[in-house]
Structure 1
Amino acid sequence: MPSRSQVQRLLADGLDYEEAGHRLGVPAGQAFLIATGLPADGGGTLTTAEQHRSGMPQESTQHLANPPAGNPTGKDETRRWLRRRAVTDRQMRQSAEQWDARPKGDRAPGGVHELTSVLTRDHDRVTALLKQLKALPGVTEGGSETQLARRGSVVALIAEALESHEPAEQRHLWPAVREALDGGDRLADQALEQEREGTGTLAALRGTSPDSEEFDDLAERLESQLRRHVAFEDAVFVRLRENLPQEDRERLGAEVVEAWQSAPTVPRPHGRQE
């Protein structure tokens, strides 16, 4: 701990509290406290004697009590430590070996063929993948090689899910919206534009290495786009259930499920086989 005389000697040499504290290895506010015996935040009313105490500057000292904050998780040495920790931790390695990002359960269980229910269930599966993507730290958060590889796997699963989800909506959902709802053309066009934006981001993401900051930026953009699109469609579903007869929604939902079930099986990009 620096002494009062050390701080005051530096002040006498013309240094301010920030520089004096830096040289002595203490925060500026602590250097002020050592020199004057008073807190830098200016709490309470100073007496005349305190105002003229040695080391007391003329200007406010409030800024000395709130030095700039640093984020240690953004430092390279912190990221390196996190990577080493993930590699050497036995429980973390075992968890990595057992990890499987694919959502559990049937995509369209028997008896669930109503159009908006089928598509909402598919939305929930994509949302679950987005949560996993967000929970895994990227390179900007010090993610390990295993975690970065997992992020790439989750993105591949999102792409796999949307590969059949969006064509089904384009073939069965949006034509029904255009015909059944007032302003349906506008709603369908807006939704299709959202899908084009998301598809472009997803394509760029799949062409980017998970160990890059660009991947993290694109992943964040994709999450925002997909969540906004899902919220938009949920609002459309409410109106569709009010305006399209149940039997029509059941027929369209069954057609969507049939298309999914007849689609070629896509190899899993990562994880256990069920």
Structure 2
Amino acid sequence: MGHGGNVFEELMADHREVEEIFGRIQAMTVQGQGLRDLVDEVTIELVRHSVAEEQHLYPAVREYVEGGDRLADKELADHGRVENLLKQLERMDTEDPQMSPVLQQLMDEVAAHVEDEENNLFPMLRQACSSEMLGDLGDRVRRAKAMAPTRPHPSAPDTPPANKLLAPGADLVDRARDFVTGRGRS
């Protein structure tokens, strides 16, 4: 969950982790509980990552990067599409014929988002902020991920201050549901 380093090192480690889970999903030859476990694992990682970016990365982009409002709004729209796909997957049985196309759409959306962040957004923020600021931002992102919900909540606010106020409550409910169902333990 927490990788260490500045905000870019932290978020890029998350990106690689999600790509690795997607690779395991693509390598599967049978569906069933194994696929459900991997979909749950990638959902947990993507939701925590998104919440942390929404609470800390995008506000920094708005504040320090020229044209930051437009950039942050585009990234939030990407998150909205991903979160809706995660919600669809959460409700699907692994034998559903739509599971594979929705998973592929999710992988495509996430890949495009990651490429855009790493090639465009991150370099702009790196140029606008000191290394100390980027290190502090990494610490804040790690703390946010530790307290973030584990399930998609597409209708939840995605901008401060509302997202920072509601995320801890959603986290408690999500973790209680996860504990009861055993989700995320494999």
The bucket for the TM-score relative to the shorter chain is: 0.7 to 0.9
Whichever of the two has the greater Rg, that structure is 1
Contact map agreement 2:6 2:138 (CA 8 A) in 1: yes
Q: Percent of aligned positions with the same letter in both sequences?
A: 26
Query: Which consecutive aligned stretches of 4+ in structure 1 deviate over 4 angstroms post-superposition?
Result: 262-268
The alpha-carbon distance between structure 1 residues 187 and 270, as it changes in their structure 2 partners (threshold 3 A), is closer
TM-score, normalised relative to structure 2: 0.76
Residue 144 (structure 2) aligned to one of 235, 241, 259? 259
Q: Following TM superposition, by how much is the alpha carbon of 1:245 offset from its aligned partner in structure 2, in angstroms? A: 1.0
Cα RMSD for the two superposed structures: 1.9
CA distance change for structure 1 residues 117 and 209 in 2, over 3 Å: closer, same or farther?
same
Q: 1:211 is matched with which residue: 88, 95, 119? A: 95
Which string of whole-angstrom CA distances, capped at 9 and with x for unpartnered residues, describes residues 187-234 of structure 1? 111111011001101111111111121111111111111111111111
State the match for 1:158 in structure 2: 42
- Per-residue CA deviation, residues 158-189 of structure 1 (Å, 9 max, x unaligned), is 11112221111011000111121122111111
The question of 1:245 aligning with 2:125 is answered no
Between structures 1 and 2, the one with greater helix share: 2
Corresponding residue of 2:20: 128
Summarize the Cα distance change of 1:116–1:135 in structure 2 as closer, same or farther, 3 Å threshold: same
C-alpha distance in 1, partners of 2:79/2:145? Answer: 19
Does 2:94 match 1:202? no
Decide which of 171, 183, 186 is 1:269's aligned counterpart. Answer: 183
Matched, 1:176 2:68: no
Kept in 1: contact 2:92–2:99 (CA 8 A): yes
**Which structure would you say has the larger RCO, counting Cα contacts within 8 Å and 6 or more residues apart?**
2
Do 1:198 and 1:226's aligned partners in 2 also have CA atoms closer than 8 Å?
Answer: yes
Aligned length: 156
For 1:260 and 1:271, how far apart are their aligned partners in 2? 17
Are the aligned partners of 2:7 and 2:135 in contact in 1 as well (CA < 8 Å)? yes
Are the equivalent residues in 2 in contact too, given 1:113–1:257 (CA < 8 A)? no
Offset at residue 148 of structure 1 (A): 2.9
Q: Give unmatched runs, 5+ long, in structure 1.
A: 1-106, 138-142
Task: Answer whether contact 2:47 2:83 (CA < 8 A) is retained.
Answer: no
Give the letter for the 1:212 counterpart. Answer: D
Normalised by the size of structure 1, how large is the TM-score? 0.53
Unaligned 5+ residue runs, structure 2?
149-171
